[in-house]
Amino acid sequence: MNVDSIIEELCQPWRHGEHFDGRDLVFDEPLVLDGLTIRSFDFSMVTLRAGLSARNADFSGMAWLRHARISGHCDFSGALFRNDLRADGLQAGKISISGGCFQGVLSLCRAELDDLLLDDALVLANLNLEQAQITGTIDLSRAEIMGGLAAAGAHVGRFLDTGTDISGRIHPPD
């Protein structure tokens, strides 16, 4: 499948219990989903060699990027996730989710990232960073996290949290 046919699949209307199965796919060109409405998908173990851009995208269902590898640019700025983003074990450089909104869980357990930008984000459920390795900065400035922060066992180079509001339990990184 080429990128255009995958985007066509991802833009099919969301239906409960259905998802696009893109496990183990390899993309050599950028996957650009900016401004699109995306149905549930499973991109577990996918390799995105030229990055991913989903600025202001509307993710209607579950979004799975478990054990995915993303090289280059990865930008979800302003995206709306109407359900969970499960990216446990994700390997990537800088992930920008600035101004994003999560109506479900954001899970990045055991993720290996250079930087994670969640400034001005709203997470209505939990933010899970347990055992994540973030060598650079995690920026939660002005973020609101309603369900709590679980970051036990996580290692973070620099943690920015000016103006952050976390309503649930907090298990800070090591």
Is the dihedral angle over the CA atoms 146, 148, 154, 160 positive or is it negative? Answer: positive
How confident is residue 172, by pLDDT bands cut at 50, 70 and 90? confident
2-36 pLDDT, tens digit per residue, is 899 999 999 999 999 999 999 999 999 999 999 99
89-115 pLDDT, tens digit per residue, is 999 999 999 999 999 999 999 999 999
Distance, in Å, from the CA atom of 77 to the CA atom of 97, rounded to the nearest integer, reads 4
Quote the pLDDT of residue 133.
98
Query: Mapping DSSP to helix (H, G, I), strand (E, B) and coil, where does residue 149 land?
Result: strand
Least-confidence region, from 52-56, 93-97, 168-172 = 168-172
Q: Which residue has the tokens 């109506």?
A: 103
Distance, in Å, from the CA atom of 105 to the CA atom of 84, rounded to the nearest integer, reads 5
Quote the pLDDT of residue 65.
98
The answer to whether residue 174 scores a pLDDT higher than 90 is: no
The answer to whether residue 1 scores a pLDDT higher than 90 is: no
**Burial track 41-74 (b if 16+ CB lie within 10 A, e otherwise):** bbbbbbebeebbbbbebbbbbbbbbbbbbbeebb
